[in-house]
Structures are given as C-alpha cells and as structure tokens.
Amino acid sequence: MLTGKQRAYLRGLANPIDTILYIGKGGMSDEIIKQADDALTARELIKGKCLENCPISPREASDIICERISADGVQVIGSKFVIYRPNPDEPVIKLPRAKRK
C-alpha cells in the first residue's frame, strides 16, 4: 500500500514516460496481463491507456491488472493510468519512507 507522499513521487516519475500498454476493443485479456507483468518486472513503473472502443473504464483496467499481478495503482486520469510494482530482485526506484505512527 502506497502512502500519499509515495504516490505523489511516483506520479512525478511517470509524467515523462511513454504509454506502453494499450487496451482496445478486446478488453482485458491474458496477453495484456502478461505484457503488464513483464513490463513491471523490467521497469517498475508503467503507463497504460484505454482506447475509445475499450469496453471497460481505465479505473477498472487498472484495478484488474493490479489485482492479478500484485501491483499498486498510482493514478488514473482520463483514459490513462499508471501502475507501480517494485522489482523484488533489483529495485530501481527508491520510494520516500513512510512516516511511523
């Protein structure tokens, strides 16, 4: 679970990256889930987009992907969404630390 500060940090990192995951009229499929999983393993942070003819909303797409591959949804704006999952072997992105209670 990401804190607000971590989410804001990741939004800033996601701003300049290109969209690499596109969901079209076929909706959510196992190929899209696998593509997202492979991309998150390599990059840790990806941006996706639901095209106009997509049968599901960007929020639903983000939630489905996050649930299936144990990732965190960072942001959904318009037709785009950002997903984060740290690489368990070699993490590249260092998140700000969460405050202790």
| 3-state DSSP assignment of residue 26 | coil
Is 34 among the domain residues? yes
Q: Which pLDDT belongs to residue 100?
A: 64
* Tally of structural domains, the chain: 1
Taking the model in full, what pTM does it have? 0.90
Q: Using CA atoms, how far apart are residues 61 and 54, in angstroms rounded to an integer?
A: 10
Asked if residue 90 is part of any domain, the answer here is no
Residue 100 resides in a domain: no
User: What CATH number should be reported for the domain holding residue 26?
Assistant: 3.30.110.60
Q: Which domain holds residue 71?
A: 4-84
pLDDT tens digits along 12-62: 999 999 999 999 999 899 999 999 999 999 999 999 999 999 999 999 999
In the block, residue with structure tokens 């690489």: 87
| Measured distance CA(101)–CA(94) in Å, rounded | 21
Query: Does residue 70 sit within a domain?
Result: yes
